[in-house]
Structure 1
Amino acid sequence: MKLTATTIAALAMSASATVAADVQLGGTPLTLDNLVDQAEMVRIADAIDAGVDAKDWETTRGFFTDEITVDFTSLVGGEPATIPADGLIAGWSANLTEEKTSFHLRGNHRVTFHSADSATMVSHGYAWNRMESSALPENGGEALWEVWGTYVHGFIRTEDGWKVNAMTFTATAQRGNDFVRDTPGS
């Protein structure tokens, strides 16, 4: 479907009325001026999840700035860090090998603009990882690990459009076999 200016305006007005009624949920209300930017940020965050699940590392890498501030300490300890995005992708690809399947799902996206070129998006996330070799008794006996939590993505506008320059995941619950989470597949 091709979006015309009239269609975008109608969507923005409809969405603005809905969002205005729920301002307490956070985020910047949708307006005609920011509708496309907010939709693009949601698309990017969802595409990162889809890229990770498809193990399409080149496409996934393209959604990030060259350096990214990451904080996954609620899962793995350590300290938040600013690292090359290539390092983030290398870590993900080393852990999520062909043997390990994953599924990521997110919702309740709330974008807050800090300026015309900077925003933060908060969303709820769910992920699971499955690895058959983990079902062996010596590896914990269960092939599944899953986690729920909150993501915070930092976005900046670049010459190439919106890019993620920061990413935090705060786990609120997890269950299953930590061996699946911590061990690369073969």
Structure 2
Amino acid sequence: MDRLDVIDTCNRMAWYADRRRWDALTDVFADKVTLDYTSLNGGEPVTLTPAQIIKGWRAGLGAYDATQHLLGSHLVAVDGDGAVCTATFQATHLKSDGSRWTLGGDYRFDLARAAVGWRITGVVMTTVWSDGER
């Protein structure tokens, strides 16, 4: 059951972000989350609160009229109250003028068991390919 709950938590992160369900998105994150998007943006990983993540994603994803983040091939390892889920992804970002930016790669999610369900404590996105203009 833990394996399915972990996968569901990771999928909900993508689902809520694409549907701009910001309030619901807070429920998938722990109080502090380390985000590593350095393969895409350079720089260093950052540790943020859910509110800080959502503020950034609102701005970044808000530049697009629609987004779709697809996760698949989930591999889950549960160790007590911790878990790691790796998954492949494809993310499409669409603007109203028809321009599209799509990228693919892998996610690594670190999770911790919470009072109710699992919460994401870390996300590492590794970009493998990209097509279109950011």
Whether TM exceeds 0.5 here: the answer is yes
Please give the secondary structure, in 2, of the residue aligned with 1:44.
Answer: helix
Cα distance 1:159–1:83, how it changes in 2: closer, same or farther (>3 A)?
same
Please give the secondary structure, in 2, of the residue aligned with 1:124.
Answer: strand
Partner letter of residue 112 of structure 2?
I
Q: Which structure: greater helix fraction? A: 1
| Equivalent residues in 2 for 1:132-171, closer than 5 Å | 132=96, 135=97, 143-171=99-127
Q: TM-score when scaled to structure 1?
A: 0.69
Gaps of 5+ in 1: 1-35, 136-141, 179-186
CA distance in 2, matches of 1:95, 1:83: 16
Aligned residues of 2:64 and 2:93 also touching (Cα < 8 A): no
Residue 54 (str. 1) matches residue 19 (str. 2): yes
Residue 62 of structure 1: CA displacement? 1.0
CA distance in 1, matches of 2:17, 2:35: 16
Cα distance 1:42–1:108, how it changes in 2: closer, same or farther (>3 A)?
same
**Structure 2 match to 1:97:** 62
Relative contact order (C-alpha < 8 Å, sep 6+): which is higher?
2
Residue 60 of structure 1: CA displacement? 1.1
Q: Which structure: greater strand fraction? A: 2
| Equivalent residues in 2 for 1:36-185, closer than 5 Å | 36-97=1-62, 99-113=64-78, 115-132=79-96, 135=97, 143-178=99-134
Q: TM-score when scaled to structure 2?
A: 0.94
Please give the secondary structure, in 2, of the residue aligned with 1:86.
Answer: helix
CA distance in 1, matches of 2:5, 2:57: 23
Aligned residues of 2:5 and 2:117 also touching (Cα < 8 A): no
CA RMSD of aligned residues (A): 1.4
Partner letter of residue 160 of structure 1?
V
Aligned residues of 1:66 and 1:86 also touching (Cα < 8 A): no
Cα distance 1:80–1:172, how it changes in 2: closer, same or farther (>3 A)?
same
Residue 160 of structure 1: CA displacement? 2.4
**Structure 2 match to 1:184:** none
Please give the secondary structure, in 2, of the residue aligned with 1:79.
Answer: coil
Please give the secondary structure, in 2, of the residue aligned with 1:175.
Answer: strand
